[in-house]
Amino acid sequence: MLEEYEKKRNFQLTAEPGAEIGKRQGPLRFVVQKHAARRLHYDLRLELDGVLLSWAVPKGPSLNIKDKRLAVQTEDHPLDYQFFEGVIPGGQYGAGSMIIWDGGTYSPDWNHVRNPGSKDEESQIRKALAEGKITFILRGEKLRGSWTLVRLNKSSKDWLLRKNSDEHASDSEDLAELTRSVVSGRTIEEVREGKSAAAPIVNPANVEGARHGRLPKTYSPMLTTLVPKPFNNTGWVYEPKMDGIRAIARIDGDRVQLLSRNGLDLSAQYPAVIADLSSGNTKLLLDGEIVALDEQGRPSFQLLQQRSGLSKREDIARADERIPVVYYVFDIMFADQTNLEGVILRTRKALLAQFVSVTENVRPVADFDDGILSFEVCVKNGLEGIVAKNLNSIYEPGKRSKSWCKVKGVHSAEFLICGYTKGTGARGETFGSLLLGYRAGSGDLLYAGVGTGFDRTTLQSLKNLMEARKRKTSPLVNPPRQKDVQWVRPQLVAEVKYAEITKSGMLRTPVFLRLRTDISPDQVEQPPALAG
C-alpha cells in the first residue's frame, strides 16, 4: 500500500515519516495540508486501513456548493503523515514547505448515501472508493459538514471535490484567506523561514501530560471556587457563566450519555443534544452546561426547569420544539484511548476544537482574555457572571480548584434547608420561610438566616419535599430561638440571593431562587465571606 510512497523518497534526506502502515485508534482521521511545492496546492488525506488516502486539490476546497474542485488522487501516505509539518528539502519529491492547514475526524455521511450497506465505517469508505463516489462528514476546525469526492471515470485519477448543502456551506466565505496552520499557527512562509511553532502538535496520545486509559463509566466534574470580584491575570481566560445544568457528555461510539454532577443519567430528557453528539467510533468525555435560551438568546434556568421533569417521549419531543436547549462545551477530559486530565487547559482547548463539531444543539463556550471587561459585558447582557480559568491548569475531577474561579453578578450561593416556619394566612397549608444553614470548615452546620420569596407552585412542591424529611431536633449547632419551627434533615440544596453576609454569618435579605437538584448536600460550597 505504501510502496509508491517509499519509492519516491529518501528518508535519510527528508523528515517525512517512514513507510509504515499504522493502527487505527478511535475515530477515522483526516488532514488537509497546504503544500508549496512546484505549485501551491492542498493535499486532502482520509484515513483508511492504516494509511491516508490522498488527493492533491490545486485550488483548495470551497464551501460553495456550486464549486467543483479538481482533486487528483496521489499515492497513499502513512498514517503518521497527518502530523507532518515542515520543509521537504530541495531535490526530494514534493520539495517545498508544508503546513497542517486543517485536521480532525471524519466518517461516512449515512444520510447522503442512498444505500449505505454496512454500518462499519471503513467497509463503507472502502466500498465507496471502489465505486468512485465517497460522501463523508468532516469534523475539523475549518472544514465541517458533508462533502463528496466523485471520480471522473473508472481509469482516471482525477476526481471532483464538492461541498454538500448543509449549515456549514457558504457562498461568501473564502477559505484561501485562512492561511495559518491549525496546530502551529504558522503560515507556509513562516515554515519556510524556519520560524518556531506557536502551538504544539495536537495529537492526543503525544501531548504532554496525556496517558493511555479507558473511557470512565462515571465521572465527577471539576468544581469552581467562588471569588468576590473579577480580575485580570496573565495566562488566564474568562468564560461566560451559563445559568443551566452542569453535564458530563460520555460518548462511546454510537452510545451517548449526559450525566449530571450527581451521576444521574439525563440523556432521555435531551434527545436533540444526544443526536448531535453521536459521531461514529469516537470515544470522548466532555464537560459542559445544558442551557435553555429565551427569545433574546440569553440562558434561562426557568425555561430549563419547565422541561427538566418530563419523562414521556411525546412531551420531551414537544419540549424540544418549544424550549430547545444547547449543550455548551468547555472542556475535554478523554479522547480516543487517551486520558487528558494531566494535559494543560491551553492544549485541551485546542483538542476540544478538533474533536467537537459545532451544531444547532452543541456549541463551544467562548472565552475572552480580559476578565474585568468580560464580566461587565456578561452581567450587562443578563448572564450570571464569568468563570476565570488558568490556561496552565490540569483537570482535577471532583475537586474544587482555585484554578477555576467563578465571579457572580449578584450575590448568590447554595445553602442547606434545615427547617421551615409555620405558614399563616394564605400560607397556612404550606409554610412561611426556610431556615438555612452552611457547613463551616470544621464540618459544623451553622445557621445562616431565613429565606423567603416563593410562588404558589414552589411553596407546595417544597412543602412536600420537606415533609418527607422531617426530624424532631435541629441539625444546626447554633439554632435560632424561633417558635413554630419544623426541622428537616439537611438534604435539600437551595440557591439563594442576598444583599450581603454580616460579620456574624447572617444573610441580609435572602431570597430563594431555586432548588438545586443537580448538587448534592456535600457539594455545597461555603460562601467566601463565611470562610475563615
Tens of pLDDT, residue by residue over 491-531, are 999 998 887 787 778 888 888 988 888 888 988 877 766 65
CB-based contact 144:276 (threshold 8 Å): no
Contacts of 278 (CB under 8 A, 6+ apart): 251, 254, 256
Assess if residue 205 is contained within a domain: no
CATH code, domain with 459: 2.40.50.140
Identify the pLDDT of residue 192. 87
pTM confidence score: 0.55
Give yes or no: residues 355 and 305 share one domain.
Answer: yes
* End-of-domain residue from the set 373, 408, 443: 408
CATH number, residue 291: 3.30.470.30
Residues 404 and 423 grouped into a single domain: no
Residues 339 and 418 in one domain: no
> 198 lies in a domain?
no
Task: Please state, in angstroms and rounded to a whole number, the distance separating the CA atoms of residues 152 and 155.
Answer: 9
* pLDDT score, position 398: 92
- Among the residues of 331-484, which ranges form H helices? 345-355, 371-380, 456-467
Total domains, the chain: 3
Same domain, 57 and 27: yes
pLDDT confidence of residue 530: 60
Give the pLDDT score at 200.
Answer: 46
Q: Which residues of the chain have pLDDT under 70?
A: 25-26, 111-119, 196-203, 279-281, 528-532
Same structural domain, 72 and 99: yes
Q: Are 60 and 174 in the same domain?
A: yes
Dihedral sign from CA coordinates of 520, 523, 527, 532: positive
Q: Are residues 396 and 416 in the same domain?
A: no
**What is the extent of the structural domain holding 25?**
3-192
Q: Tell whether 161 and 215 lie within a shared domain.
A: no
Query: Which active-site residues does the annotation give?
Result: 241
Q: What are phi and psi of 179, to 5 degrees?
A: -105, -5
Taking the C-alpha atoms of residue 45 and residue 48, their distance in angstroms, rounded to an integer, is: 10
Same domain, 165 and 228: no
Q: How many angstroms separate the CA atoms of 368 and 67, rounded?
A: 36
pLDDT at position 418 is 96
Query: Of the residues 365, 393, 408, which one is the last residue of a structural domain?
Result: 408
Do 417 and 374 share a domain, yes or no?
Answer: no
- Residue 116 in domain: yes
CB-CB contact of 134 with 122 (8 Å): no
Angle between helices 301-308 and 313-322 in degrees, nearest 10: 160
**Is residue 448, in this structure, part of any structural domain at all?**
yes
**Is 201 inside any structural domain?**
no
In a domain? residue 203: no
Distance CA 309, CA 115 (A): 39
| Listed residues 136, 161, 192: the one ending a domain | 192
In a domain, 483, yes or no: yes
Residue 162 and residue 221 in one domain: no
Say yes or no: 61 and 186 in one domain: yes
Contact between residue 128 and residue 115 where contact means Cβ atoms under 8 Å apart: no
Judge contact between 391 and 345, C-beta under 8 A.
yes
Rg (C-alpha) for the chain, rounded Å, is 28
Does residue 199 form part of some domain?
no
